[in-house]
Structure 1
Amino acid sequence: MTLQELKPEIRSIVSQPKLSVDHKLLQICKLLEAHVDYYNWVGFYFKNGDKDELKLGPYVGEPTDHTIIPFGKGICGQVAVSNQNFVVPDVAAQDNYIACSITVKAEIVVPVFVNGENVGQIDIDSNTPDPFTEADERFLEFVCKEVAKLIS
């Protein structure tokens, strides 16, 4: 499936009335990981209450020890502060990178906004060097807008 073909699937998951928010988020992770070859770890992090940290939400991929990430630390923590997409073509070239797995070569993180506030983000790791394009950014912005509807 192309990224464009995945959009109606995302909308369908979001609109399921009987599923919990976490179940919908997990379904989104599974869909993306299964249908985009270079998405090897797909997960959500959300602001942890009033703390300046992120807490791991639903995800698909290798288990991670990074269940809490302080604002400013790693790619996810930097996005929590900058409120901007962060595309990392080569994680080895990043000074402020938290390694989840030695197989990860690239990462993309896109924030989720609710009423203008950065409440979380989608985080995708790839075992492929420099796979993410502007099309991935636009698609993940769409995903985050749909996710925002679940948690607003």
Structure 2
Amino acid sequence: MFHVEKQAGDPSKDYQLLVKQVEAITDGEPDLIANLANAAALLYHSLPEVNWAGFYLAKGDELVLGPFNGLPACVRIPSGKGVCGTAFATGEVQRIADVHAFPGHIACDAASQSEIVVPLKVNGEIIGVLDIDSPVKDRFSEVDETYLIQLTEVLQKALSVSTNA
């Protein structure tokens, strides 16, 4: 049985624990969907002020909805469109304080005010993105970005041996 650890209130310490939890739930598990589903659930239930956490997976020149927690979401996002599509096209983290000010933002949930998207790479190829939304403007900080990159590195390591990647 898995229990989400109580947050300490120190973002760095909370993220260090979260990274360790993702390492633990992906250790020895080669299945892509299982690992992403567990990571999405852990993020959604661990991070404060988050209304959506999940993954989009690359299929040709678009992203297709993968495992997530939150309200139903947009199913397909073209490369270069919206925050997720921009992260996919550029390979760079997108940390957006106000999604309504982002050119071409795709509003899947009207409550979302800020967003962070981190590309997932396996063997140098972008295979998808981690997407986290918040109903709070300017919710995501440099600390969030730093540790979410670390968390995706843990996932990327697990995914590099995945039977589905």
**Superposed displacement of residue 118, structure 1:** 1.6
CA RMSD of aligned residues (A): 1.3
> In structure 2, which of residues 24, 30, 37 is the aligned counterpart of residue 26 of structure 1?
37
The residue type equivalent to 1:99 in the other structure is: A
Please state whether the residue corresponding to 1:39 is helix, strand or coil: coil
> In structure 1, which of residues 107, 120, 133 is the aligned counterpart of residue 128 of structure 2?
120
Equivalent residue number for residue 69 of structure 2? 60
Equivalent residue number for residue 159 of structure 2? 151
Please state whether the residue corresponding to 2:104 is helix, strand or coil: coil
Structure 2 residue runs without a partner (length 5+):
1-6, 8-13, 161-165
- 4+ residue stretches of structure 1 with deviation over 3 A? none
- What does the per-residue CA deviation read over 1:25-61, in whole Å, with 9 as the maximum and x for residues that have no partner? 111111111111122200111111xx21111110000
Cα distance in 1 for residues equivalent to 2:71 and 2:51: 9
Matches within 5 A, 1:50-129: 51-64=60-73, 66-129=74-137
Structure 1 residue runs without a partner (length 5+):
none
Cα distance in 2 for residues equivalent to 1:128 and 1:43: 18
In 2, are the aligned partners of 1:72 and 1:81 still within 8 Å (CA)?
Answer: yes
Equivalent residue number for residue 5 of structure 1? 17
TM-score, reference length from structure 1: 0.91
* Percent identity over paired residues: 36
Equivalenced residues, count: 148
In 2, are the aligned partners of 1:54 and 1:70 still within 8 Å (CA)?
Answer: yes
